[in-house]
Structure 1
Amino acid sequence: MVYSKENEIRKIINQAAYLGLPTQNIIDAKELVEYNESGIALELIITQVYEYEKRISKTLYEDIERLAKKIEMKEVDYSFLKELIKD
């Protein structure tokens, strides 16, 4: 099985939906992936998780970090999510 960045962002989007992000954010992120804009989809999820102050697992943070590095996103653009990791 090929594990592409699209599969990784879909996994992250599904986890964000489970956290309770608004449905429209989830729809928008999925549409961005369909239009080959996985990076923008990731940015959207990161921003909305932070804006809604959703508590995240360390695993979700690590998934976000791994994909962010693959797409050469600057650490400053996602590392603030660390403060939302639940103990």
Structure 2
Amino acid sequence: MGRVLIPLLGLAVVVYALADCIQTPDDRVRHLPKPAWIGVIALVPVVGAIVWLVVGRSRRTSFGPPRGRPPGPRGPDDDPDFLRGL
């Protein structure tokens, strides 16, 4: 079981890293151009994928909706203008 599971895990990491690298916009790739990262991931599979995930892609600075204006009412019962008109 372990002889099959470990290579499958490595393959999954490589496939994920390749898909992530291909879908990442060029301005968010760090240290190397995108084609070079794809080559590193393909030629040095597991190590290249881990290096891409740790070093190559830029990290998101925040999670969730963008800050700024608070979101408006979600339903009619949360909208004060609607409730005033009842």
Q: TM-score range, shorter-chain basis?
A: 0.3 to 0.5
Greater per-residue helix proportion: 1
TM-score, normalised by the number of residues in structure 1: 0.42
Larger Cα Rg: Structure 1 or Structure 2? 2
TM-score normalized by structure 2?
0.43
Higher relative contact order (CA 8 A, sep 6+): 1
